[in-house]
Amino acid sequence: MFCFQCEQTAKGKGCTSFGVCGKSPEVAALQDLLIYALMGLSKVAVEARKQGITDEKVDIFTCEALFSTLTNVNFDPKRFVKLIKKTVELRDSLRKGVEDGGGPVKWSIASRFEPKKTLEDLVEQGKTEGYKAKSGLDKDTRSLQNILLYGIKGVAAYTDHAYILGQKDNKVFSFIQEGLAAVLDKSLSQEELLGSVMKCGEINLRAMELLDAGNTGTYGHPVPRKVPLGVKKGKAILVSGHDLRDLEAILKQSAGKGIYVYTHGEMLPAHGYPELKKYQHFYGHYGTAWQNQQKEFKEFPGAILMTTNCLMRPIDAYKGNLFTTGVVGWPDVIHIDDKDFTPVIQKALEMPGFHEDEVRQQVMVGFARNTILSVADKVVEAVKNKSLRRILLVGGCDGAKPGRNYYTELVEKAPKDTLILTLACGKFRFFDKNLGTIGSIPRLLDVGQCNDAYSAVEVALALSDVFDVGINNLPLSIVCSWYEQKAVAILLTLLYLGIKNIRLGPSLPAFITPNVLSILVKNFNITPITSPEKDLKTILG
């Protein structure tokens, strides 16, 4: 196997024997074959669109299947077998429609390949016919292809999240398929691939806008709220991942059963949504970021539901209490397809729960764009009277790899006249710190999940209007931490918007070659993080 799509890839170069994430060589081969099959399906879909033929089942399946290949999502070989075969079924059906309409009869190899019958044979086929086996290009071209592919994976994930909440846009589906087809097109120049990479950032902005509309249209705009980090005596369910619809379903189905529901990881911002917080048994937040789940899940005395990406290898201590749903999967862990979470509720009732109340501190959530922009005049006034020198957007993915303490130290050492905006699980490095206020504004503002990056973008664009300056002339500095492919898509959106001087860490992507990196540095001045002291000195001038 070879995989270097995440930040924690082995030795900063690539996982070759077993994934740092827990991905087996078997699953890696199946994922490569699925991606290749999806590229073939996408090639057919592109031709179909030229004839005015679209199939929403194909469009959303492409997103779901691609989402399953993100880091820490699906580790179940049997699920990938089904996805590969379904991809080919949809491809052949759509291809027949194109051919019946007088379309191309000479298809690419990817649009004609036939999967083997058994899991073992598919694994071998993945090694010889999967996406990574189809190279033969120079390293820089391959690097641009990988950036495009990983960006599209992030777009597909956000598009799937949005679709679940009733939001869709045909141009997003169209780009995902065009982009996947382009990754296999050896005739494209590096300049053309770079153009597609920037287009990916543009389309991801639209995908995130759709997701934001789905979240706020369904559950209301987040409002500031204190969330307890303690626990209540009684039975318990822990919900991790990102999917608000799954959380809502758990809340509805567990109401009145004497069970308290807690969030974990990136579900923390869910407490800010009015339509979710109305459930009286939706209590507080348990634990921190995804990479700590083996310790935290082991200690949780109730049932656990993983809704989306960020699943780690379950250990025996809690494997029997763990359930997955949606695109997530692990062999021998109960998977719930139909959203009837009765098994989760029954498991929670069987388990001991918490024996007594535990009072701990509270943290604030709910500082999405509506809340922040409602005090934009105070931000402007604070800048004018020099009580606010700089806004630092410190956010992104968390992870276990050494070097991420940088973000904790950066926030701790930032002067008291700086405001800290944060989002995604990177905030768990400092989310419980009391940083005080600037006037009536808390210095630490939690914008939300990585899924809420659109809110942060809208805040930056709105402040640009308020201050009447270009976005790069705002008193704003962005310090990002990345781990997986959603983060790649968000970074491409920031680049599409022309945002410069982004600091990125804890290490740069292994899939970006020095020559491609030089292009990004030249055009956008992307800078690797150094030390908190040095970077703060540069940022604050």
Crossing angle of helices 139-164 and 170-183, rounded to 10°: 150
Residue 511: CB atoms within 10 Å: 21
Chain mean position to CA 48: 30
What secondary structure does DSSP assign to 157-195, as a single string? Answer: HHHHHHHHTT---HHHHHHHHHHHHHHT-TT--HHHHHH
Dihedral sign of CA atoms 247, 5, 493, 536 in order: positive
At 6 the pLDDT is: 96
Burial class (CB in 10 A: 0-12, 13-18, 19+), 114: exposed
Pick the CATH number of 225-350 from 3.60.20.10, 3.40.50.300, 3.40.50.720, 3.40.50.2030: 3.40.50.2030
Pick the CATH number of 378-540 from 3.90.110.10, 3.40.50.2030, 3.30.565.10, 3.40.50.2300: 3.40.50.2030
Low-confidence ranges of the chain (pLDDT < 50): none
Kindly report the three-state secondary structure assignment for every residue of 368-409.
Answer: CHHHHHCCHHHHHHHHHCCCCCEEEEEEECCCCCCCCHHHHH
At 135 the pLDDT is: 63
Map out the domains of the chain as residue ranges: 10-218, 225-350, 378-540
The set of residues, in sequence order, having a beta carbon less than 8 Å from that of 94 and lying 6+ positions away, is: 41, 44, 45, 48, 53, 55, 58
Among candidate residues 518, 522, 538, 460, the one with its CA nearest the CA of residue 493: 460
At 491 the pLDDT is: 97
Among candidate residues 71, 47, 241, the one with its CA nearest the CA of residue 153: 71
Topology match between the domains 10-218 and 378-540:
no
At 368 the pLDDT is: 96
Among candidate residues 160, 189, 190, the one with its CA nearest the CA of residue 176: 160
- Domain at 10-218: CATH code: 1.20.1270.20
Instruction: Report DSSP state, residue 416.
Output: T
CA distance 505 to 407: 9
At 332 the pLDDT is: 95
At 136 the pLDDT is: 67
Q: Does the reported pTM lie above 0.95?
A: yes
At 103 the pLDDT is: 78
At 402 the pLDDT is: 81
